Chain A
Amino acid sequence: MSQEAISNCRYCLMCRHVAPVGHITSNETLTPHGIALMVASQRRGLLKWNTSTLRVLYAEPDAGLCRAHCVTDQRLPAAIAAVRAEIAARGLAPDTVVRLHHRLLRTGSAFGERVHQTHTHTSELALFAGDEAHNLWPESITAARLLLEACSTSAALVGAGASNGYLACSIGFPATARKNFRACVEEARDASVTQLLVLSPADLFTFRQMGPERLGVIWPADIVLTDFATFLARRIQDGTLQLRAGAGDAAYVDPTHAVRASERFNPIRSLATTVLGQAPRELFWRRERAHPVGSTAVQFTRPDIAEALTRARLEDAKATGAGSVLCEDPATLVQLTRFAPDYGLKVQGLFEALAALIRP
């Protein structure tokens, strides 16, 4: 599979218009075509794995734009992850990658310690907290729980501080990724969960698509994965969740991996409209062409690329004339917050903004 995508993409230029790193660097090499050609050329003996080629290999953000726009559904991001796995297996992975992997192995989290919970109560409905939200943007979890209470719904919290496996897979350690993935499944099972709410498109992508496609692990059919934003939008629509009228003016930033869960585009905007009392301002790079911020593995492997990706999103938001940006994804919010002051922008979590509208 990986060989096939590398071969097919090495001379294909048809996703150039959406390729985020190619766009921010204007560098032919840092496009899907360039990376595929580099790998194909290495396999033909024309290039060697060295500092230079590895810098290119780990610059790809694994955000799914190329595949989302590919008529023939070439799985290049997965192919690149597979090449990284080859590199790791040969002991050639950069130090940063090795250190990140050790951390994932040791703690089950890239950003802190995984909380190993013993569930004192079980619940059919649960909220998956995950790694970034738990460690970097916990207010999103607090807000989500308040919103669930406002829906008169009880939900257990699972996966607090747990990597879902995406990061390990993306940097080339599928065995660790499987372990992370399965740990999340097991915790949900322990809590007798039948419906799991996820906060971000990253979790949705990882559990429903990446697992089976890249890791050979399938999310159990008896635990229904539900996007939390879509869940809330329905509750507002059917009157289960009643909120005060919001007011404001902000740009909505589609989070990293948004293109991998396109069914969220409208529900998330209906939530943003609820918060603002009007439709949010839209970025140029939005919906099916939404670029990522630097929240994937590139924040570790290519911080320069990560920063440039994030700044590009903020510049795009600034160009809308908005003074603040809204986003629901904890990982994206963390990155936006790092550089937003440089653009005079305020960053607001969408779930927190919704929770502030809960009627007393």
Chain B
Amino acid sequence: MVASIEQLVYKPYYTEHRANRVDAPAQGYNEDAMQGLQAEMIRSELEEVVGTPHLSTDDTDLLVYATDWFWLPQMWLDRGKTPKKPDFIVRPNSAEQVSKVLQIANTYRIPVIPWGGGSGSQGGALSTFGGIILDTKRMNRIIEIDERSLTVTAQAGINGTQLEWAINERGLMLPHYPASANCATLGGYLAPRGTGTISTKYGKAEDLVLRMQVVLPDGHILRTPIVPQHAAGPDFYRLFLGSEGTFGVITEATMQLDYLPEVRLLRAVLFDNLSEALEAGRQIMTRRLEPFVIRLYDPRSTASRVRKILGYELEGAYMVIGFDGDRDLASLQERKAMEIIGHFGAKDLGREPGESWWKHRYDFYYPPQSLKLPWMYGTTETITTYDKIEKLYYAEKRAVEESFQDWDIDFIGHFSHWFHWGVMVYTRFIIKNPPEDPHEAVRLHNRVWNVAMTAVLENGGMVNEHHGVGLKLSRFMRRQYGDAWPLLERIKKALDPNGIMNPGKVGFGL
């Protein structure tokens, strides 16, 4: 039965020629091409898998799921236009149900877009070509908390804060504190290689995962080896980290936990200039003093931040630094770091501003304090090694400010995820009076990104450090990877020959 329907559905809309090209994504059905019968066939098969209450083709649902946290579709909706909507929304509750949904999608060659919290800023959850939104949030069980090995195993659709609450009740924490924790899912932490506020000590989400269960595009369910550090072959599990649903669906993960710290010692300091502050941060990291956070604001951000927090005007580079764990050890680490900071003549502003930052660190995400429409904004964050980071930052800033000075563009940044070898700069542009015409706004938006990413790539940066690629940065992936890109394409084609998985994202299907 399926084979004959496949012919009916597939042939008129998606040619054999396109199906064999990895860069030709599967397309969602549309009423004209597929007629009602085929749509009902797909619907009934999906319904059989997930159950009637967990499948929707309701207009309201389709519209709500038509946008994630990417500025473009939000702006599009805001101006009274509808982004491409999905055709179906399904909410499976197990890897087995996910597997069956993917098998149906392969049969009909329709896209599947995994959906966690819908909090991604890169358009990674957009149904660009229609298809099936696979909402993972019903997969929200904690399977095991192992208090001896300090791990938690949970289904991928569990909400980040809810997971953290459950772990906190055992005196433990999952040391991944992204601003999106209240809305993001565990799978959403991993799929775009997310980074949280305390990553400087504890690592990115990808560094905390021991094991995953993944459903491949053909419906095969696999588990990665029990631990990541071994010498029994390559780390293939990392393929799924950063794949953003293009290589399969993460349905379960075992994550490393830590004890809740006895203390978190925070303070703020003010450097005369950004160069000295970056060098102080580098020395603190390369001497492995293990701050859980270093948040260094560029002079433009410093001016507004210091005025807001301390109530007076200061020039320079404002840094919040924190150490956690056992009190004596954290105090010692803080003292050593302050010695380094002191060598640069930075002014110690004390604990209060540091503690206030920690307490209010996510307040900025609540409207109306958050960036909001009709403004145009985007976070062009990037990462590179210490030897390049300052040059990269200024090159990007100069390129964006000079190219869009007619739009009175604001370009600010802070350095907030530090490694032994380099640091991420969280740069952001804001245009408070973008074009009213949505088409014109899209074009301006993309021009800003083109200029910013060109500067990043020309100065040795990555197009992204932790928000992921999504649809937004897809077009830069070939340039980012150069000679290595065909390898990724071959992997994609081997795993997903029909191109059903999240087409248009991470550079695939464009």
What residues of chain A have their CB less than 8 Å away from a CB belonging to chain B? 7-9, 11-17, 23, 26-29, 34, 37-38, 40-41, 44-47, 52-53, 56, 70-72, 74, 284, 289
Contact = CB atoms under 8 A, between A and B. Distances in A.
Contacts of A13: 69, 117-119, 180, 182-183
Q: Kindly state the interface size class of chain B when it binds its partner.
A: 35 or more
Interface in B155-182: 157, 159-162, 165-166, 180-182
Question: Sorted from nearest, which 8 A-B pairs have the closest CB atoms?
Answer: A13-B183, A8-B367, A26-B137, A17-B161, A16-B183, A71-B366, A44-B80, A26-B138
B165 A15 contact: no
Interface stretch (B59-67, B232-240, B291-299): B59-67
A159 to B, nearest CB: 37
Given A26-B140, A29-B58, A53-B60, 8 more contacts: A7-B367, A8-B368, A11-B367, A12-B365, A17-B182, A17-B183, A41-B77, A44-B77
B368 A28 contact: no
B231 to A, nearest CB: 40
A50 B494 CA distance: 46
A52 B462 CA distance: 44
Contacts of A41: 63, 77
Given A17-B161, A17-B182, A52 B367 contact: no
A188 to B, nearest CB: 38
B363 interface: yes
Given A8-B368, A29-B64, A52-B58, A46 B166 contact: no
Nearest to B91: A26
Contact of B91 (A27, A34, A47, A289): A27
B370 interface: yes
Interface in B42-100: 54, 56, 58-61, 63-65, 67, 69, 74, 77-78, 80, 82, 91
Nearest to A48: B59
A70 B366 contact: yes
A11 B373 CA distance: 10
A53 B366 CA distance: 26
B61 A16 contact: no
Contact of B64 (A37, A45, A72): A37
B135 interface: yes
B369 interface: yes
Given A26-B140, A52-B60, A17 B159 contact: yes
Contacts of B367: 7-9, 11-12, 72, 74
A22 to B, nearest CB: 8
B362 interface: yes
B59 A14 contact: no
A45 B82 CA distance: 10
A34 B164 CA distance: 24
A26 B119 CA distance: 15
B60 A12 contact: no
Nearest to A46: B82
A13 B78 CA distance: 17
B151 to A, nearest CB: 20
9 contacts: A12-B370, A13-B182, A16-B117, A28-B135, A29-B58, A41-B77, A72-B369, A74-B366, A74-B367
A256 to B, nearest CB: 20
Given A14-B366, A26-B157, A71-B363, A34 B64 contact: yes
Contact of B60 (A7, A26, A29, A72): A29
A7 B373 CA distance: 10
Contacts of A8: 367-368, 372
A284 B365 CA distance: 26
A329 to B, nearest CB: 24
Contact of B160 (A11, A17, A70): A17
B140 A284 contact: no
